[in-house]
């Protein structure tokens, strides 16, 4: 897998360490333990003679997303590095239940109601769950906690 020149420039601007194999690229922050991984899976016809398509998976923190092109995957990584998207995960009884990403613009107004709208679950369902948020720099990280703990801190 080969990164585009545009993305190589992004890696330089964020001072990322790049480690590559045939089907995986790991981008690591030189100042922290943060890393993001892009992997490529190729799918073939039943006879394995013709490739039908490739899928790219981006993994950061507790979340992963699938893309049909390397360009889409690179753009998503740019959003992670610029902290425009933040992974969020919900836990029940110490087990991951579901997650996704929230936009940085929505981070400052996190409420059970806003996350209920985002997730499709009711606020009453979310209240007893724990959640955590991660960001590339750590600036927006929220260690695992319940909403009631978040409101006590504010």
Residue pLDDT, tens place only, 85-112 = 999 999 999 999 999 999 998 888 888 8
> Sign of the CA dihedral 117, 107, 29, 145?
negative
The answer to whether the CB of 102 falls within 8 A of the CB of 88 is yes
| Domain coordinates in residue numbering, the chain | 5-81, 85-153
In 14-141, alpha helices (H)? 70-81, 104-107, 112-119, 123-126
The candidate with the shortest Cα–Cα distance to 84, out of 22, 137, 23, is 137
Residue pLDDT, tens place only, 20-73 = 888 888 999 988 889 999 998 877 777 767 767 678 999 999 899 999 988 899
């Amino acid at each position: 897998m080969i990164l585009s020149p545009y993305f190589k420039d992004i890696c330089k601007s964020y001072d990322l360490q790049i480690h590559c194999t045939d089907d995986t690229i790991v981008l690591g922050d030189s100042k922290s333990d943060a890393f993001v991984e892009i992997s490529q899976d190729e799918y073939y016809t039943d006879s394995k003679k013709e490739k039908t398509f490739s899928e790219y998976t981006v993994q950061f923190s507790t979340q992963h997303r699938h893309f049909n092109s390397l360009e889409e995957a690179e753009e998503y990584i740019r959003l992670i590095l610029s902290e425009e998207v933040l992974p969020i995960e919900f836990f029940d009884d110490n087990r991951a239940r579901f997650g996704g990403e929230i936009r940085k613009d929505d981070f400052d107004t996190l409420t059970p109601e806003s996350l209920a709208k985002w997730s499709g679950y009711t606020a009453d369902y979310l209240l007893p769950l724990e959640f955590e948020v991660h960001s590339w720099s750590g600036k927006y990280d929220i260690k695992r906690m319940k909403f009631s703990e978040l409101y006590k801190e504010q």
